[in-house]
Amino acid sequence: MIEGVYTSVLLVIAGALALGFAILAARLFHALGRHRRVHNLASALARRRARRLSETLRLFRMAEQIADLGVWQYYPDEDRQEWSDGMKRLFGVDPGEILVDGDVETLLAANDVDLVELVSEDARTGEPSVLDFSILRLDGQQRELTLNALRLPAREGGEARVVAVLMDVTDQRRRERSLRKSREIALLEAQRAKEMAETDALTGIANRRRVMVQLDRLVMQSRREGTPLSLIAFDVDHFKRVNDTYGHLAGDEVLRRIAAITREQVREGDIVGRMGGEEFVWVLPGANLELARVAADRLRLAIAAGSASGEVPPVTVSIGIASALSGDTGLSLFGRADEALYDAKNAGRNTVRMAA
């Protein structure tokens, strides 16, 4: 009886131990399975990050190549430079080539470029660097580069560094120079066209259109500032006789000679123009009627003494003078001088008359 009870107790104890071991084993296997699943998940995430990083690097290298970009990094604490594949490509180096110590310095020194020196000053102040320079690549091509650099402070135990992006702007600069040259040519041609439209083709002095535009402006200025303004109108005496006797080519040369003599007489700021045919004007800002009379007499004598051209004898001119009045316009001022000119012709020519 006692043996039966003892046997039953042993069986109960054995069953309990077996159950305990079974529960412990189950928990252990569960923990191992969970650890394996966590390990597998971590491995999958690491592989995924690695694939993303690889794809990012691939896209970065592709962007560098498409945009003709290069990335340059400098670590001041180690005096070390790093060149991206795009940076190598900018200098004509094969992207797959490994640059050892001294290679980058040699490449830069060959082009008289010291990137470290160029960005150091701005890096110390924290200001971005923007630089333009030219290089001669290993393949002999002359290229123009632009650099944008910024200093990045050390973070989380990392090193401070200067990061720069370089871009090949050779084609862009060529287009800019071409556009600038085209613009300059267009402006020059526009100015030339304007001058041609305002210049007398025979004598090279102002034509009637330009004279009248300037005269209107000067009349308004004279009225506004209360300063004098005078106009001398003069005409070649017996010019038809010159053309009939010596020919129109000789007559043209006489007109050119008179224009040249008049230009020798004028002051800075004066205007000399041909109004048409053999009639000329000389506008004198700041000159009253008496000063204009002195200038007109000097001009008349100079033309009589120096207008001879080839076989054509010297010619004379008749001159009319008018000074601006309070109610004058450019046209009315010219009209009064022109009337005085005809008074001079009627008085026998080679003389000066002043408007009333």
- Return averaged pLDDT per consecutive 10 residues of the chain, 356 residues in all: 50 52 56 58 58 50 62 86 88 82 74 76 69 86 89 76 89 92 92 88 96 97 96 97 93 95 95 97 97 97 85 91 96 98 96 94
Per the residue annotation, which of 64, 278, 311, 339 is the catalytic one? Answer: 278
Domains in the chain: boundaries:
63-174, 199-354
pLDDT tens digit sequence for 27-79: 655 555 665 655 565 566 556 655 554 454 454 455 555 556 888 888 888 88
Statement: 199-354 belongs to CATH 3.30.70.270: yes
- Distance separating alpha carbons of residues 134 and 143, to the nearest angstrom: 6
The pLDDT tens digits of the residues spanning 144-157 come to 999 888 888 877 66
Fold entry, domain 63-174: Beta-Lactamase (3.30.450)
The C-alpha atoms of residue 265 and residue 260 are separated, in whole angstroms, by 9
Residue 278: active-site member? yes
> Hey, which bits of the chain come out as E strands?
69-75, 80-83, 129-136, 142-152, 161-168, 229-236, 271-276, 279-285, 317-323, 352-354
Whether the model pTM is above 0.95:
no
